[in-house]
Amino acid sequence: MSKEELLKEAKRLWDIRDFYSAHELLEDLWRLFPKEDRFSRNCCQGLIRLAIAYNHYLNGRLPSCLRVLKMVKEQLQPCGDCFMGVDIGYLLSFVERHIQALEEGKSIQDFPQLRLSGEVK
């Protein structure tokens, strides 16, 4: 599969809350970046971790979810507003709200979609 095909299929799975399967495809995407492209690999790994965080949440592993969400926040911030067509700013707004909710002992009410804007590069 091409990068674009992997990302579109990951989006489809993500948007139906099959975060585990989405993470698997995002790992395949991550492998397509050369090891020297640390920026792209880091941003892609942040998306992988976000899918894993939400999978933890859906499986009742709230401490793990919170721990991974904090890692995701640090990892995605340098990626800018858009990476490979993924709306990073939109995802980070959810990550921040979800960290706050979990720290306050509240539940996550909604999950972000994996929004794609423009062409995948």
Q: For residue 113, give every residue at least 6 positions away whose Cβ sits within 8 Å of its Cβ, in sequence order, or none.
A: 11, 14, 15
Q: How far apart are CA 17 and CA 41, in angstroms?
A: 23
* pLDDT for residue 33 is more than 60: yes
d(CA 15, CA 121): 21
Report field, pTM of the whole predicted structure over 0.85: yes
The dihedral over CA atoms of 41, 46, 52, 57, expressed in degrees to the nearest 10, equals: 180
Domain 3-103 has CATH 1.10.10.1800: no
Cα–Cα dist 96/99, whole Å = 5
Q: What is the pLDDT of residues 68-89, one digit of tens each?
A: 999 999 999 999 999 999 999 9
Reference 41, options 29, 30, 28, 51; nearest CA is 30
Alpha carbon distance 54, 32 (integer Å): 24
Rounded mean pLDDT of 32-49? 97
Please say whether the beta carbons of 59 and 23 come within 8 A. no
